[in-house]
Chains A and B, each alone.
Chain A
Amino acid sequence: MDDAQTIPDDQWRPDRHQKSQRDEKDQSGCAICGLLNEDGSLVDGGLIIRAIANMHDRSNGLGGGFAAYGIYPQWKSWYAFHLMFDHDAARRQTESYLETVFQVAHQEAIPTAHLEVIRQRPILVRYFLLPKEELRARHYDLTDDDIVMMNVMHINKTIDGAFVFSSGRNMGCFKGVGYPEDIGRFYRLDEYQAHLWTAHGRFPTNTTGWWGGAHPFGILDWAVVHNGEVSSYGKNRSYLANFGYQCTMHTDTEVIGYLFDLLVRKHHLPIEMACQAVAPPLWSRIEQMPPAERQLLQTLRIIYGGALLNGPFSIVVSHAGGLIGLNDRIKLRPMVAARRGASLYVASEEAALRLMCPSPDLIWRPAGGVPVIGRLQSQPQEVSVA
């Protein structure tokens, strides 16, 4: 043991050490927002920071975070792992593990700014990886995505003090304890160019904030920002366990990410149907549909009962192909959306929406269970990274 290198005071993540045998979900209120340039044009992080800051009172300083897409064009075919470490020992253990399974093209500290208000920061490092050939050969039945996910879960579950919080290609999650606008400045997000941004300000009600628990929740290129509580969490978690997803992060938001990964990436459902699986129409409405549609929806709901997200939520789910805004079936959390030209905006409050897009072509309040779907039409512009 190399105690000298271990930071003794790691209270910035206190409940990491009180991890009970069973997983807990976390309840929180929150602010969310997202923007997508469907034409792939890039915008820096300044705008989304100002938008989330405009909903300051919806968070309480215990968590903030961002997801950005198109930020690593020179590494775009490599999985960008963002890791936080409690201490150097965890970093060394993780790195030696990564080297056994991945080719590491590049690694560096995630650039941060010194901010008075951001305290007790973990060690933040990013790696650009691909599974090793021998690993691919051994797991011939798995895709690279499957191998990456398996290893993210393995690290998060077994290496004490290490936490992978972003693992997609040409995208990244940036999060921590603090108000979101401070987290944005801390990570110097105004230096990144992305075609798709999401942001989150957290208001946890029953746990102290910890860096890993902030949103977005990211797995592969999925990132979820979430306002609400998943009352069906226990059900969703056990349902996902059927498909090999292990919930290890003490947050109900992670089931949302896994569900979309399962429905869209593994089961190849169109985005609209994935949304209908997690927020399905009422049985009484399904009954009234034309026969073909009725049968489709009935079957979808029968098969994916375990994927239904119950409880109040508004979420922005982002992925390489675009953005999804969605409310629970009876709209118990706020969400508004706007469009201008090729840009789509969603936010908890109109205040943030108007800040991002002062004169929209269209502004609306999506009904419960009715998704707002934005699709990237062309490849993002290629520019060199900051």
Chain B
Amino acid sequence: MRKWLVEPDFILTRDPDRCINCQVCVRQCANDVHVHDEEADLVQSDSEKCVGCHRCAALCPTQAISIEKASLEFRPNGNWTADRIRAVYKQAEGGGILLSGMGNDQTLPVLWDHMVLNASQVTNPSIDPLREPMELVTYLGRKPDRLELNRDANGKVSLATELAPQLRLETPIMFSAMSYGSISYNASFSLARAAQAAGTFANTGEGGLHKDFRPYAKNLIVQVASGRFGVDPDYLNVAAAVEIKIGQGAKPGIGGHLPAEKVDAQVSATRMIPERTDALSPAPHHDIYSIEDLRQLIYGIKEATQYTKPVCVKISAVHNVAAIASGAVRAGADIVAIDGFRGGTGAAPTVIRDNVGIPIELALAAVDARLRDEGIRHQASIVAAGSFRSSADVIKAIALGADAVYIGTAALVAMGCHLCQKCYTGKCNWGIATQDPMLTKRLNADVATRRLSNLLRGWSLEIKEMLGGMGINAIESLRGNREHLRGIALSDRDLNILGIKAAGE
């Protein structure tokens, strides 16, 4: 039966004066939107299949294609918006859970946009990063509260403290967990290489470590999630750090889901699962039903790696995130990663993606304050995740108390992602979230590595400029330094939780 109630999201228009019938669009669209009519020698388009990924428009040599939001208007209704009506149509057709890729796309307030940064005037000279040193070096890991020294008979001192393992980052930005399987070989490869080039880290996600990526393992954080895909002692020992994934911002409370279509021979070998089967991670870790179980897993991993690597615990930002983070630190986590509700995913039930969890801004402020109040802030580093769209978001997170941030969506966008949110279909026209060999080769790993490196470089330069403006020349002096933030149009309650003053105060 024709799905006559499912309406197109976009209307694709082809300018006949510009179209040269070259069929580049036909060859590029994995959704079969464009068809060449041999008889009429004309390219025609079926808007209903268009996901708005812009692949055709980006490659069209004459800019003949324009894509607009379908203007099929319903009677104006502030409650029953077009998106909600269409979701009901779709669900009535299929009867299943509606899926989405990427992060929460609702128009809830983005608090980063309600915070502004400070700059020096007169009493404090701003520092010019082009002329003066500006340090972004960041160490992640457990720190002792004090330095211990040995003193010899002559009073000469030497180091007695043996520091717990640390990750050294040249810039406080890392690539968030994105599994091989959810993204393509070339995309994973590019993230690993860009991380190495920039002196930072990429997270493998829960999909195991492809053998080809071993040479980059010094710059990789491997993940242990509830599915335990690809986990063995070698996997743990080869990496720079190990992350236990408890939750993900896009889908707190549920496990990962990789559709069978994306499980090809390589993915199957890397994940250690049969080919063409769904890779479904359980919602909880079935060996972690409480905090003491988490401690066992943390120390299990530390034992397995002879205490040579920091262990990170990643949680999604939920209502009592501060208490959970504190528990994780007390359970032995060296790094706590907090993923806010705008964090991305390859596949999540839309209803969960859009309605579960809290913003990273508030979660981060609450966790940092809680750990400080408990006097255990130095015992773990905090990594914030969940939609960092610019260097400004990153520096604001650091001022709120993050040691570093994870970027996922921004990294994908740097590689070409257009946020069409169809990652779960496996038909990514940009060759990123797909395993189809015709599509994966569209992402040239050299190009993607360069673009990722450029992004990190550009953001780092911007962070240096902003730091210099504040009269600060080392990032650790901004970390948790909320004096340099002011809020605009925020409630007293929000300001209080964020621990910042209002602009003008």
Interaction A to B: yes
Contact residue among A22, A231, A303 (Cβ-Cβ distance under 8 Å from B124): A231
Q: Which residue of B lies closest to A27 (CB)?
A: B123
Contact residue among B149, B157, B481 (Cβ-Cβ distance under 8 Å from A233): B481
CB contacts (< 8 Å) of A299 on chain B: these are 147, 159, 161, 163
CB contacts (< 8 Å) of B123 on chain A: these are 27-29, 205-206, 229
A267 to B145, CA, bound (A): 9
Smallest beta-carbon distance B325→chain A, Å: 16
A309 to B505, CA, bound (A): 24
Q: Would you call B483 an interface residue if the criterion is a C-beta within 8 Å of the partner chain's C-beta atoms?
A: yes
Contact residue among A29, A282, A300 (Cβ-Cβ distance under 8 Å from B133): A282
Smallest beta-carbon distance B471→chain A, Å: 4
Q: Would you call B135 an interface residue if the criterion is a C-beta within 8 Å of the partner chain's C-beta atoms?
A: yes
Smallest beta-carbon distance A274→chain B, Å: 10
CB contacts (< 8 Å) of A105 on chain B: these are none
| Interface locus among A44-52, A81-89, A156-164, A234-242 | A234-242
A25 touches B124 (CB 8 A): no
CB contacts (< 8 Å) of B410 on chain A: these are none
A300 to B132, CA, bound (A): 23
A235 to B402, CA, bound (A): 12
A27 touches B378 (CB 8 A): no
The answer to whether A229 and B124 touch (CB under 8 A), given A283-B137, A299-B147, A308-B477, is yes
Q: Would you call A232 an interface residue if the criterion is a C-beta within 8 Å of the partner chain's C-beta atoms?
A: yes
A29 to B123, CA, bound (A): 7
Within 8 A of B (CB), among A191-241: 205-206, 228-229, 231-235, 238-239, 241
Q: Would you call B454 an interface residue if the criterion is a C-beta within 8 Å of the partner chain's C-beta atoms?
A: no
A235 touches B479 (CB 8 A): yes
Within 8 A of A (CB), among B363-380: 372, 375, 377-378
A284 touches B472 (CB 8 A): no
Q: Which residue of A lies closest to B120 (CB)?
A: A231
Contact residue among A20, A206, A228, A269 (Cβ-Cβ distance under 8 Å from B147): A269
A330 touches B375 (CB 8 A): no
CB contacts (< 8 Å) of B147 on chain A: these are 267, 269, 273, 299-300, 303-304
Within 8 A of B (CB), among A253-311: 266-270, 273, 282-284, 292, 295-296, 299-300, 302-306, 308-311
CB contacts (< 8 Å) of A243 on chain B: these are 145, 375
A295 to B163, CA, bound (A): 10
Number of residues on chain A facing chain B (CB within 8 A): 47
Contact residue among A206, A229, A284, A330 (Cβ-Cβ distance under 8 Å from B132): A330
Q: Would you call B144 an interface residue if the criterion is a C-beta within 8 Å of the partner chain's C-beta atoms?
A: yes
Q: Would you call B354 an interface residue if the criterion is a C-beta within 8 Å of the partner chain's C-beta atoms?
A: no
Smallest beta-carbon distance A383→chain B, Å: 32
Number of residues on chain B facing chain A (CB within 8 A): 46
Q: Would you call B358 an interface residue if the criterion is a C-beta within 8 Å of the partner chain's C-beta atoms?
A: no
Smallest beta-carbon distance A1→chain B, Å: 31
CB contacts (< 8 Å) of B473 on chain A: these are 310, 329-330
Smallest beta-carbon distance B372→chain A, Å: 6
Smallest beta-carbon distance B349→chain A, Å: 38
A234 touches B470 (CB 8 A): no
CB contacts (< 8 Å) of A321 on chain B: these are none
**A interface footprint on B439-473 (CB within 8 Å = 1, 0 otherwise):** 00000000000000000000000000000001111
Q: Would you call B482 an interface residue if the criterion is a C-beta within 8 Å of the partner chain's C-beta atoms?
A: yes
The answer to whether A295 and B159 touch (CB under 8 A), given A231-B470, A238-B372, A312-B471, is yes
Smallest beta-carbon distance A295→chain B, Å: 6
Smallest beta-carbon distance B470→chain A, Å: 6
Smallest beta-carbon distance A243→chain B, Å: 8
Contact residue among B159, B399, B505 (Cβ-Cβ distance under 8 Å from A20): B505
A268 to B12, CA, bound (A): 71
A241 to B147, CA, bound (A): 18
**Additional A-B contact list (6), CB under 8 Å, known A234-B481, A302-B139, A310-B473:** A229-B124, A234-B482, A242-B377, A267-B146, A283-B135, A304-B147
The 7 nearest A-B residue pairs measured at CB: A234-B483, A232-B477, A310-B477, A234-B481, A305-B476, A235-B481, A229-B124
Interface residues, chain B, with chain A CB atoms under 8 Å away = 120, 122-125, 127, 132-133, 135, 137, 139, 143-147, 149, 157-159, 161, 163, 166, 372, 375, 377-378, 399, 401, 470-474, 476-484, 499, 501, 505
Interface residues, chain A, with chain B CB atoms under 8 Å away = 20, 22, 25, 27-29, 205-206, 228-229, 231-235, 238-239, 241-243, 266-270, 273, 282-284, 292, 295-296, 299-300, 302-306, 308-312, 329-330, 332
